[in-house]
Amino acid sequence: MCASNTGQAAVLRSALRKIGYAALVVLVVTFGVSLMLSLAPGSVAETILGENATPENVALLNKELGYDRPFIVQYLDWLSHAVRGDLGVSPITHLPVTEAILQRLPVTLELAVLALVLSLVIAVPLAIVSAARAGSALDRGISAATSVFLSVPAFVAGPVLIYFFAVQLRVFPALGWVPIEDGLGANLAAAFLPALAAALVEIAAFHRVLRADLIGTLREDFVAAARAKGLSPSYVMFRHAFRPSSFSLLTISALSLARLIGGTIIVETLFVLPGIGQLIANAVLQRDVVTVQGVVAFIAVTFVVVNMIVDVSYGLIDPRLRRAPAARKIARGRSRTVKPVQKKELTA
């Protein structure tokens, strides 16, 4: 009714502003990381030449690689290539960084998506049961169990999982990666334990957030009104209560996904998986500045893009947020409790 030109202009303005912010975030992150790397002692030349290299040789190699230039010149040089998709060549592996990332991306991506799906598949039903019986022994038991998952770090959960599933039960391989081309079954079997190890930590957070939001929603009048129609509690839960309660869950699961794509260093190292996490871990140890910069830029872009997708998808959950971009602020504010949103009326 009031979708006028000013409305469309506002949408465009807000989209441009968002892209601007996103670019700024990536810029600040890559600059900060580059600065820290340049301040850190040691250099890639020392790694290449070995412990016995003379300072003269190290200085020579550094000059050859361009590391003798002022920091800001180095950064701007890197940036001008990076915006064109060229993240440089690793002086150690002599492989373009872009290629190294793309090589390892399928592993990390599969691991991340699988971990997210696993944690949601476990956490969402638990949260629904908890919220439906809030305060009961069952609810307290579930909360206690997920807290245990939260407080067990991956480097403990990983070996425990390996011990039970790989050593004792022998249902999953202990380590290593099987590419998807070598068979989906073998691939999934290899990915399952690392994904579960990465998922355990997420389960507690997902359970808590969704449980709290569901309990808030279940107190709303519209839930009582739906019950007053004689609809069953489970129907009301899924049809009326779940969607308005899933804002926080969407937000934090997107952040989890972005974090997982950034590489779960511990899990990848534990299970010996050739993913992004291992790439950056090795690069840091070898002072491979080019690779670190490239991976960091990639992770920053991933975060920013995932966040933008989340922003857009709020509207899919709640029709009230489809109109104005300003309404998304409501979604952010709503993330804890569901409050009545728009008092504005379209028709008298």
Phi and psi at residue 90, to the nearest 5°: -70, 130
Beta carbon of residue 316, minimum distance to another protein (angstroms, whole number): 10
Q: Minimum distance from CB of 27 to another protein (Å)?
A: 38
Residues that bind another protein (CB under 8 A): 134-135, 220-222, 224-233, 235, 239-240, 243-244, 317-320, 340-343, 345-348
Instruction: Work out how close the CB of 239 gets to another protein at its nearest, in angstroms, rounded to a whole number.
Output: 7
Least distance between another protein and beta carbon 339 (Å): 9
Kindly state the smallest distance separating residue 8's Cβ from another protein, in Å.
19
Residue 88 or 315: the one with the smaller Cβ distance to another protein is 315
Element (H, E) at 223: helix 221-228
Cβ contact 138:129 at 8 Å: yes
Considering beta carbons, is residue 41 or 319 the nearer one to another protein?
Answer: 319
Integer Cα distance of 255 and 152 in angstroms: 20
d(CA 69, CA 76): 11
Report the residue number, 108 or 130, with the smaller CB distance to another protein: 130
- Please state the φ and ψ torsions of residue 119, each to the nearest 5 degrees: -70, -35
Tell me the C-alpha to C-alpha distance, in Å, between residue 4 and each of 9, 166, 235, 300. 9, 62, 38, 36
DSSP string, 154-199: HHHHHHHHIIIIIIIS--S-SS----GGG-HHHHHHHHHHHHHHHH
Nearer to another protein, 185 or 230 (CB): 230
Phi, psi of 93 (to 5 degrees): -90, -10
CB of 122 to another protein, least distance (A): 25
With a CB cutoff of 8 Å and minimum separation 6, the contacts of 199 are 115, 116, 118, 119, 122
Biggest CA-to-CA distance, the chain: 84
> Which is closer to another protein, CB of 55 or CB of 230?
230
The 3-state secondary structure of 242-309, one letter per residue: CHHHCHHHHHHHHHHHHHHHCCCHHHHHHCCCCCHHHHHHHHHHCCCHHHHHHHHHHHHHHHHHHHHH
Closer residue to another protein in complex, CB, 69/227? 227
In the complex, what is the shortest distance from the CB of residue 4 to another protein, in angstroms, rounded to a whole number? 17
